[in-house]
Copies of this chain bind each other. A is one copy, B any other.
Amino acid sequence: LLAMPGLALANADLESKMANPKNWAAQAGDMFNQRYSKLNQINKDNVGKMQVAWMFSTGVLRGHEGSPLVIDGMMYVHSPFPNKVFAIDLDTQKIVWRYEPKQDPFVISQMCCDTVYRGLAYAEGKIFLQQADSTLLALDAKSGKVLWSVVNGDPKLGAVNTQAPHVFGNKVITGISGGEWGVRGFLAAYDINTGKQVWKGYSTGPDAEMLMDPEKTMTWTDGKMAPVGKDSSLKTWQGDQWKTGGGTTWGWFSYDKATNMVYYGTGNPSTWNPTQRPGDNKWSMTIFARDLDTGVAKWVYQMTPHDEWDFDGVNEMILADIDVKGKPTKALVHFDRNGFAYTLDRVTGELLVAEKYDPKVNWASHVDMKTGRPQVVAKYSTSKHTNPEHGPDVNVKGICPAALGTKDQQPAAFDPNTKLFYVPTNHVCMDYEPFEVDYVAGQPYVGATLSMFPAPDSHGGMGNFITWDASAGKIVQSKSEKFSVWSGVLNTAGGISCYGTLEGYLKCVDAKDITKELFKFKTPSGIIGNVFSYEHKGKQYLGVFSGIGGWAGIGMAASLEKDTDGLGAVGGYRELSQYTELGGSLTVFALPD
């Protein structure tokens, strides 16, 4: 027993921290990405009386995503680039230690969608920090001392990081950003104690480099699971294009101990001009289930073959044990950028449900449940290969959703009481004009000009907060919002569901009737962070970062002016500047004494 303490012990520590609802020990609170807190002191009857308990400014202006962690009375706060870390004593709010990386500011210019960072991970007395420049570090949680550090990618080539590292077992899992620089995506696992790389699986390329077993890695094929076969990626790319083909991995990861699989999605194929890259471009836009120990892909499912709209598939996989079509199911539920919400069997990878979670979605009529492929509407295709009349320099108008999807990085929550998913969404459409572009190492490799606007013939706003039935594949309720809801949701045992808005409001609604707004408070800046909760000295707290930015807020964050700047987001979200200003702060709420 002494000889193999690794996995079991690692899990034991983090799992025990997570099991205690006083902590917020991982970005989603758990490994299932459920974003549900068992605390119930703040509940639907008293949340209206909630007030601000204390605040903390991070000293960084740009977009603040993710949330702090809370472990045993200490809060760990991160910031966007330059990725500062603060350990704050919850008794005194004193800063016990701070870690301020010195990163080359050149990195800023290599980040597509603001200098965001989605947060820290914790395990066994260590805080894991994934810097923008791709350096992954373990810090001593007590002192902030660097225990080890490794380099995960080369920012000069556009390989940077924004996503939170995730600890599963004795490994810290990280991905890579840079789909707009032609970076070849991968997921990598590092040993939490040494920083040694244990495995690395690419999204595209030769089977060996993808850690794919042609015989054993399964995928949905003609209504059932079948092996992917040899060179499943190589066959879907022209020549060497897979080498600069994107499929980056900058989202939220999840893990199920029972299956020992890590679940995540891969991003868009590069470039945004699809005519340049004929084929399905596998395994971009794909849900991956990898074995935690070996990294080998157990199953894959590509949602948007030959992407023509930048519908990155990285959004979080929420693991939930629910009834699907009457059958108790170990489900994986995923709200994709492409506007379809997918329910899969997370053990086998079988496709169970795929339905639109915004009725305005128009680029595909539906997902063919046998092939698993979306049925593209030719009118909204931007690729010559799909619609011979379209292609480079043809401006395709009125595509819904816009490139930032019906949902982007903002994570949804699952409430085990209502069995519903609480989904912060975008209600935005676009015009998309692809153009020919050459790959130049280290330079943006985008190849499309975009304009974004609120979904036409709707409520005029750019967002909805919805509840979703993942078995029926149906919206249960929808609450309109002026702007996209770019903040992560938290549900709690108090019967509430809370999220932030781009204007800067934290809102809590009744989980059973989300049209009932029970609490609303204007924080210092627009909210793109995720709501979290913890308990300290008998009191429940609820917190959220404010700090406008991210892709939706890129105009303000990076002082961009032209409508089509910021990959098209500047014009779409221009009105934001009438509501809020930059500035990163944590606001912590509680009930009055």
List residues of chain A with CB under 8 Å of any chain B CB: 49, 51-52, 54-61, 86, 93-95, 98, 504, 521-525, 546-547, 556, 577-587, 592
Chain B residues with CB below 8 A from A54, complex form? 521-522
- The answer to whether A587 touches B61, judged by C-beta atoms less than 8 angstroms apart, is no
**CB<8 Å pairs between A and B, sample of 24:** A49-B592, A51-B592, A55-B55, A55-B522, A55-B523, A55-B587, A56-B522, A57-B524, A57-B525, A57-B580, A58-B581, A59-B525, A59-B582, A59-B583, A60-B583, A86-B581, A93-B579, A94-B578, A95-B578, A98-B577, A524-B585, A524-B586, A585-B585, A592-B592
Chain B residues with CB below 8 A from A51, complex form? 51-52, 592
Known: A52-B51, A522-B93. A57 touches B546 (CB 8 A): yes
How many whole Å from A56's CB to the nearest CB in chain B?
6
How many whole Å from A20's CB to the nearest CB in chain B?
25
Chain B residues with CB below 8 A from A524, complex form? 55-57, 524, 585-586
How many whole Å from A42's CB to the nearest CB in chain B?
15
- The answer to whether A583 touches B584, judged by C-beta atoms less than 8 angstroms apart, is yes
- The answer to whether B57 touches A582, judged by C-beta atoms less than 8 angstroms apart, is yes
How many whole Å from A37's CB to the nearest CB in chain B?
22
Question: How many monomers of this protein are in the complex?
Answer: 2
How many whole Å from A393's CB to the nearest CB in chain B?
36
Chain B residues with CB below 8 A from A578, complex form? 94-95
User: With A and B bound together, what is the CA distance between A86 and B525 in angstroms?
Assistant: 14
In the complex, the 8 A-B pairs of residues with the closest C-beta atoms, listed nearest first: A57-B583, A57-B524, A59-B582, A59-B581, A52-B52, A51-B51, A54-B522, A57-B525
User: With A and B bound together, what is the CA distance between A584 and B547 in angstroms?
Assistant: 12
How many whole Å from A331's CB to the nearest CB in chain B?
39
Chain B residues with CB below 8 A from A523, complex form? 55
- The answer to whether A577 touches B95, judged by C-beta atoms less than 8 angstroms apart, is yes
Residue among A504, A577, A583 with max Cβ neighbours from chain B (10 Å) = A583
Given B49, B56, B579, which contacts A581 in the complex, CB threshold below 8 Å?
Answer: B56
- The answer to whether A95 touches B579, judged by C-beta atoms less than 8 angstroms apart, is yes
User: With A and B bound together, what is the CA distance between A161 and B585 in angstroms?
Assistant: 29
- The answer to whether B95 touches A57, judged by C-beta atoms less than 8 angstroms apart, is no
- The answer to whether B94 touches A579, judged by C-beta atoms less than 8 angstroms apart, is yes
Chain B residues with CB below 8 A from A556, complex form? 59
Given B56, B98, B581, which contacts A57 in the complex, CB threshold below 8 Å?
Answer: B581
User: With A and B bound together, what is the CA distance between A582 and B522 in angstroms?
Assistant: 20
